[in-house]
Structure 1
């Protein structure tokens, strides 16, 4: 049943758009990579683009899920070690905990900034601190635990960055398939054969490669 549904998803744009129009082929693949190649009869390339689309979305979902789990882990860790509020969702709060060992050090940093901005104006200094200080208290018992928390936050950021990169490759896959379908339709109309090919790969470390090339 799932295979039949996937087949109809690929076939439906082809039924609507007809065959032989480069712009329609490109638009079809821009919406769903591989669909333009499908109604042009390019089965291998259809499988390649569609497989890349599915793999990329699964990779994106995996990175996103893992990043959320890492967020939960570092919040629970901070709650158990330094008394942070695990329910806080604002980024400024967690950044302050990451960059400062305790709230006193954090406030002292803000006061230094305030004095540098308003050296002769105590009222402005106080207003600056009130405006920029985040609510909440924390105190890391040791630098080792504080540094470990920083590593956890870094791991979360890296995972989210990989998710963003994967999302970029999803866009690339759509555009590349659209270009490939457009060019292939033109070439098929001229000579009945196409010599362009496309390849996209992602390995477990997050490194990715994309290639659109022509065979001679």
Structure 2
């Protein structure tokens, strides 16, 4: 058994190194854990996409959005401001104009141009019909984000599973070597002394075959 090959096999697929080394029981345990990790990844990925589709549908129905293929930053803004245009603390345009005044103080034309480049218009504009509907949207979006994060955590578990399997192959290799050496090494003869009843003694040579 080549220990380096066993290590590489385990890094590719946890349990493959153990199977190559002849330890089928250990290999089965790693195969099961690897399958569970990717099943967990698939489940959370599906949940994340279903919830994402749900919050996009909510935004289209209750905020008047007519687009689906937008960045995560865009959907975050939809949950931050009640409407995209207009004035007031709940307006994204109002926040943009404050930033524009800081960027171009005393230059209204530059401010308007800066805002126009960033303000969503047309089917990208939004206006929530109520704050409670926006809150429901935010909650659904947070649930989607959590699901995607849990799916990403599966990658860390998959890496850990590979490292543990790789280490396990090396431990098993050393254990198998010790077992082989003890099996082929002959027992050394032993000298035993015995005291007889008359005070004398005898020396015995003991050898186990």
Q: Same fold (TM over 0.5)?
A: yes
Separation (CA, whole Å) in 1 of partners of 2:49 and 2:106: 45
Separation (CA, whole Å) in 2 of partners of 1:127 and 1:182: 65
Match of 2:9 among 28, 33, 36: 28
Question: Mean alpha-carbon deviation: is it higher for 130-139 or for 22-31?
Answer: 130-139
* Other structure's SS at 1:181 match: helix
Q: Is the 8 A contact 2:63 2:129 kept in 1?
A: yes
Structure 1 segments, 4+ long, off by >6 Å, are: none
Q: Indicate the structure (1 or 2) with the bigger Cα radius of gyration.
A: 2
Provide structure 1 residue ranges, at least 5 long, that are not aligned to the other structure: 1-19, 194-216
Q: Is the 8 A contact 1:35 1:46 kept in 2?
A: yes
What's the TM-score once normalised by structure 1's chain length?
0.74
From the superposition, tell whether residues 121 and 179 of structure 1 become closer, same or farther in structure 2 (CA, over 3 Å).
farther
- Count of aligned pairs: 174
Residue 187 (1) aligns with residue 175 (2): yes
Match of 1:88 among 54, 66, 69: 69
Residue 152 (1) aligns with residue 140 (2): yes
Which residue does 1:127 correspond to in 2? Answer: 113
- 1:86 Cα deviation from its structure 2 partner: 4.6
What's the TM-score once normalised by structure 2's chain length?
0.76
Separation (CA, whole Å) in 1 of partners of 2:105 and 2:75: 29
Question: Mean alpha-carbon deviation: is it higher for 117-126 or for 145-154?
Answer: 117-126
Provide structure 2 residue ranges, at least 5 long, that are not aligned to the other structure: 86-90, 182-209
- 1:45 Cα deviation from its structure 2 partner: 1.6
